[in-house]
Amino acid sequence: MPSVSLTHLDELWFQVSGTHCNLTCDHCFISCSPHNRSFGYLSLSDVQSSIAQATQEGVREFYFTGGEPFLNPEMVDILCWTLQHGPATVLTNGTVLKEEWLAKLQEAERQSRYSLEFRLSIDGFSPETNDPIRGDGTFDRAMAGVSLLCEFEFLPIITATRVWDDESDLEVLAQFKTVLKAHGYSRPRIKLLPTLQIGAEENRTRGYLQHEVVTDTMLSDFDQHNLVCSHSRIVTDRGVHVCPILIESPESNLGQSISESLVPFEIKHGACYTCYQYGSICTNASSGNTLSTTEPTVNPPDTAREDGDT
Amino acid sequence: MVIHSVINQNTKIKSRFALFGGVYSNYLALEATLQDIRQRGVDAIYCLGDLGAFGPHPDRVFPLLQNNHVIVVQGNYDDSVGNALNDCQCGYTDPRDNHFAQISYDYTLQNTSEPNREFMRGLPPEIRLTVDDQNILLCHGSPHRTNEFLWESTTSDYYLEHLLEVQHADVIAATHTGIKWNRKLDRGLFVNVGVLGRPENDGSTNVWYTLLELHTDNSWTVNHIPIAYNHTALAREMQQEKLPDEFVDTVLSGWWTTCLEILPSKERRRGKH
């Protein structure tokens, strides 16, 4: 079974709102919803404690995800505090943002030498393509969030999960840009993500197939820095886990402290296969960690291991 | 690892080094930079990699580097072109950025001679200097990875302190991002020396190199030097070579038009596109 060592803690993630979300998206890989409280919120104090530990490891930047991070009542304070210590990225659905929060965050970023990145999830360029995935009315609400972020001079990275054929990428991207410009976003940044065949997505389409696993052979001539587990960890209210994708897998919890979590991890999950194919899909392009999302490496079924585990 | 000993000058400034990165085939900017360096006088000249890409006639860069005794670190582009890999290893994910990156890479690979590709293959991924008791590490992206982007707004102090500590360095110099910056830290100094190949997305057509000066009290001075060059001639040659109009536009306007996805928000906000 292939095992990946952490070469350095480049990014520390926080599951800052647990699995609590105001939306219930059909493709959510950890099935977040208004009713899913299996993971709880992190407090400002929790974040401060973990960042203090991570700085001892020379951490480079910080990411905040959920659920919907801005359901956490301390989210704005958490980001303002974090920006005094390093770059911060927050992954939001953009539907609950408030002007007073963005004014405060704009000022915090101005006072900081570091960037505050918003990654805003939209999965279609129209209500007809987005709302069946993310819920009725979510396209218009998310676009209102985009417009609001632009008013405060943020340049959100629009993340879209590829729920269309790979061949349609250029056409879909062009339509996204047209729509975003019409909503006041004059130079849109867009990041395409592959689907992860776990959580709600397993029911929407399918789970991982038996052959969709990473093998020792596949890693023999592969730059392991393209795997997020080689340079990231994520803090939840249960402990420190290997990566943002696998928090629901019991073996992903590597300990209660950052130092305990710096151990090798067996990449036996189907989601590890997607990470292998597409590179560190979770991190921003500015880190230079990602592989191309247009021509993934494919593991032919006849060369794969037979006892895959998702 | 390559270690170079440097003979100190008995002046207030003990040593002076010129450093630049990302030539990107811009031989006209390289000529102008070398002339500026000669006028100022330095102990050594270092290029931190990425000789080709973006510009015309990649082979014209090599004699300038070699005749002026420039010591060169291998960049990701040099590794790719030298070893005829499939792409430049820049890590773009945006289809538009990948499209233009591939045009640039294919042109550079096709127009770089085998002797020059051999030169690229033989370049070291890092160089270590010792000047008195000061340890200097020269690399392309970061000491961790040749293609890691160390941007001013996405690199924490903690990370830079960590790099200085584990690398036993007083100074780390890198390039790769295309935009210069530097930061003094408790353990030493980090410098992104900038690039000669294209302007740095600020609406000015000049490019940048860096002078590093070591003083008698072992303090360092960092001077980022702007270089004006005949950018209109470069643009004409790029057009003659049928390189993309988007690249030519960057040379003439000073604004990046491609490879924008890698910019963090603070750096992106300063640009036009």
A109 interfacial to chain B (CB closer than 8 Å): yes
Find the CB nearest A59 among B153, B154, B159.
B159
In contact, B74 and B49? CB cutoff 8 Å: yes
Say if the Cβ atoms of B93 and A285 lie within 8 Å. yes
Residue whose pair of structure tokens reads 């979590």 in the numeric block: A261
Find the CB nearest A287 among B149, B158, B267.
B149
pLDDT of residue A301: 37
The distance of B93 to chain A (nearest Cα, Å) reads: 5
The distance of B229 to chain A (nearest Cα, Å) reads: 29
Could you read off the pLDDT of A128-155 as tens digits, one per residue?
Answer: 999 999 999 999 999 999 999 999 999 9
The reply to whether A309 falls in a domain is no
CA A69 to chain centre: 12
The reply to whether A310 falls in a domain is no
Q: Which of B91, B58, B66, B95 has the alpha carbon at shortest distance from B76?
A: B91
**DSSP reduced 3-state for B63:** helix
Stated length of chain A: 310
Say if the Cβ atoms of A61 and B152 lie within 8 Å. no
A111 interfacial to chain B (CB closer than 8 Å): no
Nearest chain A residue (CA) to B96: A170
The whole-angstrom separation of Cα A217 and Cα A214 is: 8
Nearest chain A residue (CA) to B94: A191
pLDDT of residue A288: 74
The reply to whether A144 falls in a domain is yes
CA A26 to chain centre: 16
CB neighbour class for A210 (10 Å; exposed up to 12, middle 13-18, buried from 19): middle
pLDDT of residue A156: 98
The distance of B265 to chain A (nearest Cα, Å) reads: 6
Contacts of B91 in chain A (CB under 8 A): 279, 285, 288-291
The reply to whether A29 falls in a domain is yes
Query: Domain B2-270 carries which CATH code?
Result: 3.60.21.10
Find the CB nearest A61 among B93, B154, B268.
B154
Order of strands across the sheet that contains B181-184: B2-5, B126-131, B134-139, B171-174, B189-192, B181-184
Could you read off the pLDDT of A4-37 as tens digits, one per residue?
Answer: 999 999 999 999 999 999 999 988 888 999 999 9
Which runs of consecutive H residues, i.e. helices, occur in A17-74?
Answer: 44-56
Contacts of B141 in chain A (CB under 8 A): 288
The reply to whether A308 falls in a domain is no
In contact, B66 and B235? CB cutoff 8 Å: no
The whole-angstrom separation of Cα B185 and Cα B182 is: 10
In contact, B25 and B53? CB cutoff 8 Å: yes
Residue whose pair of structure tokens reads 């390093």 in the numeric block: A86
User: The whole model's pTM is what?
Assistant: 0.93
Confidence of residue A195 (pLDDT cuts 50, 70, 90): confident
In contact, A81 and A106? CB cutoff 8 Å: no
Say if the Cβ atoms of A155 and B152 lie within 8 Å. no
Q: How many domains does chain A have?
A: 1
Q: Which of B83, B90, B91 has the alpha carbon at shortest distance from B109?
A: B83
Residues in CB range of B154: below 8 A, 6 or more apart: A60, A61, A87, A114, A115, A284, A286, A287, B264
Could you read off the pLDDT of A168-180 as tens digits, one per residue?
Answer: 888 888 999 999 9
- ipTM of the complex in this document: 0.93
Give the number of A-B residue pairs with CB atoms closer than 8 Å. Answer: 112
Say if the Cβ atoms of B91 and A187 lie within 8 Å. no
A2 interfacial to chain B (CB closer than 8 Å): no
In contact, A254 and A203? CB cutoff 8 Å: no
In contact, B25 and B51? CB cutoff 8 Å: yes
Say if the Cβ atoms of B91 and A87 lie within 8 Å. no
Q: Quickly count: other Cβ atoms within 10 Å of residue A219's Cβ.
A: 16
- Suggest the residue from B77, B99, B159, B166 to mutate for an interface test with chain A (most A CBs closer than 10 A): B159
Question: Quick one: what percent of chain A has pLDDT higher than 90?
Answer: 73
The whole-angstrom separation of Cα B160 and Cα B156 is: 7
Contacts of B98 in chain A (CB under 8 A): 292, 294
- In degrees to the nearest 10, what's the CA dihedral of A231, A235, A238, A243? -30
What letter represents residue A298's amino acid? Answer: V
Local confidence pLDDT in tens for the 273 residues of chain B: 344 444 444 458 899 999 999 999 999 999 999 999 999 999 999 999 999 999 999 999 999 999 999 999 999 999 999 999 999 888 787 888 889 999 999 999 999 999 999 999 999 999 999 998 999 999 999 999 999 999 999 999 999 999 999 999 999 999 999 999 999 999 999 999 999 999 999 999 999 999 999 999 999 999 999 999 999 999 999 999 999 999 999 999 999 999 899 999 999 999 999
Q: Which of A23, A1, A4 has the alpha carbon at shortest distance from A243?
A: A4
Q: Domain of A284?
A: 3-303
Say if the Cβ atoms of B153 and A293 lie within 8 Å. no
User: In this structure, what token pair is assigned to residue A194?
Assistant: 């592959």
Find the CB nearest B261 among A113, A154, A285.
A285
Name the residue with higher pLDDT: A61 or A300: A61
**DSSP reduced 3-state for B61:** helix
What burial letters (b/e) apply to B66-101, b meaning 16+ CB within 10 Å? eebebbbbbbbbbbbbbeeeebbbbbbbbebbbbbb
Contacts of B268 in chain A (CB under 8 A): 155, 187, 189
